[in-house]
Amino acid sequence: MRHTHGSIEVVCGSMFSGKTDELIRRLVRATIAKQKVQVFKPAIDIRYAVEKVASHAGSTYDAIPVEKAAEIRSRLDADTTVVGIDEAQFFDPEVVTVAQELASRGLRVIVAGLDTDFRGEPFGSMPILMAEAENVAKLHAICMVCGDDASRTQRLVNGKPARYDDPVVIVGASEMYEARCRLHHEVPR
C-alpha cells in the first residue's frame, strides 16, 4: 500500500522517555496495515541487539545497522512504504537529506532520537529534522531526583554529573544516564 504523499514524523525527548517504544508502536501499526516497513539504526548502537531497535523497556523490532545515513538509500527495498530511523542524533548530517528524499518519493519516514545531548543542547541533526517534519512528538520521562516530568538527559560519571567539556557521544543506558527535569539537570563547567 502506497501513501498518497510522503511525510516525516519525529519522536523525540530525553533518554527513558519512550521514544523507541513509540517508534515501534507506529511501525507495528504500519505492519498491521500491510505496509512494507524497513528500519535503520546507527551501527554504533549495539546496546541491546545488533540487528534490532530495542527500547529500555524491552520492546524490539528488526532493523538494519548502517554506518552512514547514505547507506539507507542503497539498502532500501523498492516496495518499502514506511521507513523507521532510530537514534537519528548519531547519524551524520546526510540523514536530513535522506529523510527529505524519501518523503518526497511518497514514503512515510518515522524518525526517533534525542532532541538534546547531555549538556541540554540541540543534538546532531535532530533540530533540522524536527523543523522539516510534518509531525513532532516530544515525549517526557520522569525526573530521577524529584519525580516531575523530565526533558533532559543527565550523564553521570562515577555518580556525579558529567562536565560540559566531556565527549558528547558516549553510547550507554541506565548505568551512565538518567532523566532529569530542568531544575535538577546539572552540567558543571
Return d(Cα 15, Cα 56) in angstroms, integer.
Answer: 9
Nearest to 64 by CA among 46, 54, 50, 82: 50
Catalytic residue among 87, 101, 175, 178: 87
Beta bridge partners of 60: 54
Question: What string of H, E and C letters represents the secondary structure of 148-161?
Answer: CEECEEEEEECCEE
Neighbours of 80 (CB within 10 A): 15
| 95 and 10 Cβ atoms separated by less than 8 Å | no
Return d(Cα 27, Cα 38) in angstroms, integer.
Answer: 9
**Would residue 9 show up in a list of annotated catalytic residues for this protein?**
no
Annotated catalytic sites, by residue? 87
